[in-house]
Chain A
Amino acid sequence: MRKYLFQTAALVLAILFVTPLVANSQESILEKIKERGRLICGVNKELPGFGYLSQDGTWKGFDVDYGRAIAAAVLGDPKKVEFRPLKAADRFPALQTGEIDVLIRNTTWTLTRDTDLGADFAPPTFYDGQGFMLRKDLGITSLKELAGATIGVTAGSTTELNLADTTRALGIEVEPVVFEETETLYQSYDQGRCDVVTSDKSQLLSRRQSLKNPDDHIILDVTISKEPLGPVTVHGDNKWNDVVSWVVYATFFAEEHGITQTNVNTFDTENPEIKRFLGASGDIGAKLGLPKDWARQAIAAVGNYGEIFDRNLTPLGLPRGVNKPWTQGGLLYAIPFR
């Protein structure tokens, strides 16, 4: 009899032990970050220019800088951010499960992702397009000639889907080879496992540098898709999405008005919008749940959009293209700070 008591008691105890409290987390991620004192940002670890771990163990890149800008805006310190390297296929689960606060990992904004994957997008920080890289000596100049080729793509990316769409539209058959890691994809391409790699053009350009003989490879002059890349937050947390979005706009705004990392603390102006922006008058920060000087902190940490771009992407030989302020004919357009 005691044996039953023992068994049952043990099991019930075990169950009670693992039974979690019903979640009552209506709290915004913004509050959680403030409590934690640290932002957790999902990034790429193997894409020089956008996100990578450099030799000296520090994180560098365009996306990484946006992570720092957000940390500076929220916590007043660009160092209070932890970067989590994520594979393409793991990024949405990581976001859904709350493992990361914000995903800044050259992620394309699409309708399905916005609706079905539990994600909310902030404004694109980089307008990209999908291209193809292959060996020069193949002498290929158009997509039609790729019939029968082995084409490498990364798993869980939009490029995988675009490739299928494009080849179907062209009526050619290709053999897709799917790689989990970006690194393996390019390594295999270098070894001749595939004839062609397809990805965002910025990525092709960035990765071409690390091939054995970068000059042996060309990027075809075709773009098969629009790839607006930007930060992503979890669906349903509007307050937090607002913060991320306005940090992005802040970098656009700063470039439009010539506010830079060096002059942001001494910027002298009578323009009321810039004054509001820098926290010199009014308190737009409070509306976002941020300190008064949030934008100033963000710009002081990483600079304006142009500076972020020049620091990370210009060295790769990436032209600014459409990634220019609207005043110069580009697509970057800051919403009024009012």
Chain B
Amino acid sequence: MENNSPTAASGKIPFWRDVRVLRILFQVIFLLGVILLLTLLYTNMLKGLRGLGLTLNLNFLQDEAGFGISEGIAYNPSDTYFKAFWVGVLNTLKVSIIGIVCATLMGLFFGIARLSSNWLIRTIAAAYVECFRNVPLLLQILFWYTAVVGQLPKVRESISVFGGAFINNRGIYLPSPEPASGLNTWLWFLGAGLLLAVILYIVRWRQLQQLDRPGFRAKWALPAFLIVAFCGWFLTPGRPFTLDLPALQGFNYQGGMRFTPEFSALLVALSIYTSAFIAEIVRSGIQSVVKGQREAARAVGLKEGQTLRLVILPQAIPIIVPPLTSQYLNLAKNSSLAVAIGFPDLVSVGNTMMTQTGQAIPVFAMIMVSYLIISLTTSAAMNWYNSWITRIGR
């Protein structure tokens, strides 16, 4: 037991008691163990696959996929498996990015509502958070898909919103802007507005620096840009955009923008579920800023908005961002539950590929690598944002 007995202090240390040797020895043993395990698994796998008459390679990716995918970028069944997988990846990204934006906004709203001085608002927000984060996401997705979206009326009995948008059990159809003749002229206006805004921003920044007081740097730039853009819209000969209205043609509505039921249900469930967690993060982040800070800020004459922007947020954001990042990653990973309702994300396309080709291992590897890339990029972006916002705050 007494490994550091003083007797070894003098004289030659036998190698079996020499920490330097032992460190290396133990690591070698350990690595050998790991390698042994991996080779065993690998040989087992090869043996198993050979028994089934399967080979392990990625050549199948160039074969014709042959199955249809109901949404995503242009794709048809004669495209390759690789293209099919790519459609899945893009669908995952699409639902994740839109989901992150929605979840953040909703989470922010409910997080702040939980700190409201109004008892009713506070209680409703607390109930929202508790209800949605204590029920499995998969159940919520299925609920939205089968019990809400699935119960919408049939195509021919669609709910019409102002005659332009239609809701039925095949999706939500919205009018979409289509570029028209005036778009080029209007883009020139936008460019000019942007230039003006940048100049005004810099001018204002300088001015604030000279005055040595905090202030809203985009105070002039933002309105200037909006005014130019707005005027340009009306001055442009011909409209820059026309609205493409969805209309019933044959079996379905054609034209406009469409959110499929699968996408809508997945998005709603993901956003609500994640927003409940984000609300908690926002709440504890803001609460972590000591009350005295707020009072001190008020005492030196900062306004409510300034207190939030210059005192509370710079201290709260570094606390909020790391857990927020992991929520974003969770949302991206949770989007894989799409497989339960048939939204063609990368896991569900990957699954179809597996059942069609039998190449389970390469497809799993592709899925894993895709998610690892998504996770690493998101973490990197959020870390960068965190260091940037912390620097600004100082």
Contacts from A to B (Cβ < 8 Å): 1-2, 4-5, 7-8, 11-12, 15-16, 18-20, 22-23, 88-89, 92-93, 96, 112, 115-118, 147-150, 155-156, 160-161, 163-165, 168, 175-180, 188, 191-193, 195, 234-236
B360 touches A93 (CB 8 A): yes
| Contact A155 B37, CB 8 Å, known A8-B26, A177-B70 | no
A156 touches B355 (CB 8 A): yes
B351 touches A178 (CB 8 A): no
Return chain B residues, CB-CB under 8 Å to A16: 33
CB distance from A322 to the nearest CB of B (A): 27
| Contact A15 B33, CB 8 Å, known A20-B44, A164-B67, A178-B344 | yes
| Contact A4 B68, CB 8 Å, known A148-B249, A177-B342 | no
The answer to whether the Cβ of B356 comes within 8 Å of any Cβ in the partner chain is yes
Per-residue contact bits, chain B 55-73, to A (CB 8 Å; 1 contact, 0 not): 0000000000011111000
A1 touches B70 (CB 8 A): no
Those of B245-265 within 8 Å (CB) of chain A:
249-252, 254, 261
Alpha-carbon distance between A193 and B341 when the two chains are bound, in angstroms = 13
The answer to whether the Cβ of B143 comes within 8 Å of any Cβ in the partner chain is no
A12 touches B33 (CB 8 A): yes
B34 touches A15 (CB 8 A): yes
CB distance from A70 to the nearest CB of B (A): 21
The answer to whether the Cβ of B51 comes within 8 Å of any Cβ in the partner chain is yes
| Contact A161 B150, CB 8 Å, known A1-B17, A23-B47 | no
Of the candidates A4, A161, A175, which one forms a contact with B22 in the assembled complex, judged by CB atoms under 8 Å apart?
A4
B70 touches A20 (CB 8 A): no
A92 touches B342 (CB 8 A): no
Alpha-carbon distance between A8 and B19 when the two chains are bound, in angstroms = 14
| Contact A235 B53, CB 8 Å, known A1-B22, A193-B170 | yes
Of the candidates B78, B155, B342, which one forms a contact with A180 in the assembled complex, judged by CB atoms under 8 Å apart?
B342
B30 touches A175 (CB 8 A): no
List the 8 shortest-distance A-B pairs measured between CB atoms, nearest first. A118-B52, A164-B77, A192-B154, A176-B68, A156-B355, A8-B26, A117-B358, A148-B250
A155 touches B252 (CB 8 A): no
Return chain B residues, CB-CB under 8 Å to A115: 53
| Contact A149 B77, CB 8 Å, known A116-B358, A118-B358, A161-B66 | no
Per-residue contact bits, chain B 72-112, to A (CB 8 Å; 1 contact, 0 not): 00001110000000000000000000000000000000000
Contacts from B to A (Cβ < 8 Å): 3, 17, 19, 22-23, 26-27, 29-30, 33-34, 36-37, 40, 43-44, 47-48, 51-54, 66-70, 76-78, 150-151, 154-155, 169-170, 249-252, 254, 261, 339-340, 342, 344, 348, 351-352, 354-358, 360
Alpha-carbon distance between A195 and B3 when the two chains are bound, in angstroms = 78
A163 touches B68 (CB 8 A): yes
Return chain A residues, CB-CB under 8 Å to B354: 93
* 30 A-B pairs with C-beta separation under 8 A: A2-B3, A8-B26, A8-B29, A12-B29, A12-B30, A12-B33, A15-B36, A23-B47, A23-B48, A92-B358, A93-B355, A96-B52, A112-B356, A118-B53, A118-B358, A147-B250, A148-B254, A149-B251, A149-B252, A160-B67, A160-B68, A161-B67, A175-B70, A176-B69, A177-B342, A180-B342, A192-B154, A234-B52, A235-B52, A236-B51
| Contact A89 B360, CB 8 Å, known A115-B53, A164-B77, A192-B154 | no
CB distance from B85 to the nearest CB of A (A): 15
Return chain B residues, CB-CB under 8 Å to A149: 250-252
Of the candidates B26, B66, B355, which one forms a contact with A155 in the assembled complex, judged by CB atoms under 8 Å apart?
B355
Return chain A residues, CB-CB under 8 Å to B33: 11-12, 15-16
| Contact A178 B352, CB 8 Å, known A4-B23, A150-B170, A191-B154 | yes
A168 touches B249 (CB 8 A): no
Return chain B residues, CB-CB under 8 Å to A193: 150, 169-170, 261
Return chain B residues, CB-CB under 8 Å to A147: 250
Which residue of A5, A12, A176 has the most chain B CB atoms within 10 A of its CB atom? A12
Closest residue on chain A to residue B77 by CB atoms: A164
Alpha-carbon distance between A236 and B17 when the two chains are bound, in angstroms = 54
A23 touches B44 (CB 8 A): yes
CB distance from B303 to the nearest CB of A (A): 53
A150 touches B339 (CB 8 A): no
Return chain B residues, CB-CB under 8 Å to A117: 357-358
B355 touches A191 (CB 8 A): no
Closest residue on chain A to residue B28 by CB atoms: A8
| Contact A168 B78, CB 8 Å, known A8-B26, A22-B44, A116-B358 | yes
Taking A8-B30, A178-B344 as given, write out 17 further A-B residue pairs in contact, using a Cβ cutoff of 8 Å, ordered by the A residue number: A12-B29, A20-B44, A117-B358, A118-B52, A118-B358, A149-B251, A150-B170, A156-B356, A160-B68, A160-B352, A165-B66, A176-B68, A177-B70, A178-B70, A191-B150, A193-B169, A235-B53
